[in-house]
Amino acid sequence: MQQADLVAKLRAGVVIPAHPLALSQDRQIDWRSQRALTRYYLDSGASGLAVGVHTTQFELHDDHGMLREVFQSAADEVRAHAEAKGEDRRLLIAGIAGDTEQAVTEAQLAAEAGYDAILVAGRGTAGWDEDQLIERTRAIGEVLPTLGFYLQESVGGRLLSRDYWSRLFEVPTVVGAKAAPFDRYRSHDLVTAMIESDRWQELAYLTGNDDTIVHDLITPFRREVNGEDRVLYCHGGLLGEWAVGTRAAVGLLDQVLTARDEGSVSLALLSAAPEVVEVNAAVFDTANNFAGCVAGINEMLRQQGVIDTAVCLSDNERLSPGQDELIAQVLRIHPDWCDQQFVAQNRDRWRS
């Protein structure tokens, strides 16, 4: 895919779930469940998939053989779905980690599997300055176009300056960024750098702020730059939160795009915000500073029967006490946001 075509697809409005990793009790990949997840997202109408990201468990990057298989599995399902439906295939975005050498190697694995872009994670760059991070992104961009990633500190992110984002957006192979610092001021830095960039119409702004999904999607960002009035909207999301309730997320984005076209936002649409936050609080374990966020996504999918376990690669990634009960509660309170009926009707087919 040409970079311009990729940017056009991203800027048209996208729902991209972060793909979980389904494991057996003995921490082996459960391929039946893994494929079921991919099929769920595709049938939900997701614009693409993000694989190898935080939700896929960063420990996966310690085994490139396993990482390659996970990349390939998702790509195979995406291609098969497109062929069966007679449509263009959905986007494939690969998360990478590690120092420059490792990151480039992982980008090459993704390219070989047919991925379209790289989400650049900071894992493996502790102590690096912003110059080093940008040069790493340049190197990755020689393999595939890249998306910057502002990750919250509680799950391994770091503070990044507005100048960093301004300089990053000057890199020709950067096609956008995911804003997920869970902080209004830091998100503002990223968006300001984007709208002020000479390349602002060549960049996609994706939210990863699970606590403000609705507000990020509906809010116009206005700025006069060199005498030009510019308006930047969030172009969609790449979210761990959208690894559950994916069909509902597609419907939410459709409502947002309609509201933008009409020039007004209804109270009904605004009322979605606290409901989505309530689901997210249970899944992402906000009561315990996100300690069970990865396991929580898996647990909701387990309770829905899409996958068999909530087991993670690391012993440190596990449910917090009582988190499973909170997840069961939001499944009862907000079945529509969690795709309860849709999943129940289709999970056996996805797992076949």
pLDDT in tens, 263-305: 999 999 999 999 999 999 999 999 999 999 999 999 999 999 9
338 belongs to a structural domain: no
pLDDT in tens, 78-96: 999 999 999 999 999 999 9
115 belongs to a structural domain: yes
pLDDT in tens, 95-139: 999 999 999 999 999 999 999 999 998 888 999 999 999 999 999
CATH code, domain with 142: 3.20.20.70
Q: Is the separation of the CB atoms in 201 and 233 below 8 Å?
A: no
What is the percent of the chain with per-residue pLDDT over 70, rounded to a whole number?
100
162 belongs to a structural domain: yes
| DSSP three-state, residue 273 | helix
Please check the confidence at residue 156 and state whether its pLDDT lies above 80: no
227 belongs to a structural domain: yes
Give the single-character DSSP code of 23: B
124 belongs to a structural domain: yes
Mean pLDDT value of segment 189-213 = 96
Question: Residue 84 belongs to what domain range?
Answer: 3-253
CA 146 to chain CA centroid, Å, is 14
- Note the pTM of the prediction, 2 decimals: 0.96
Amino acid at residue number 91: L
pLDDT in tens, 8-46: 999 999 999 999 999 999 999 999 999 999 999 999 999
188 belongs to a structural domain: yes
| DSSP three-state, residue 92 | strand
Please check the confidence at residue 154 and state whether its pLDDT lies above 90: no
**Residue-averaged pLDDT of the chain:** 97
Which are the contacts of 331, defined by CB distance < 8 A and separation ≥ 6? 300, 303, 304, 338, 340
What does the pLDDT read at residue 157?
79
145 belongs to a structural domain: yes
Domain count, the chain: 1
302 belongs to a structural domain: no
What does the pLDDT read at residue 141?
98
What does the pLDDT read at residue 155?
76
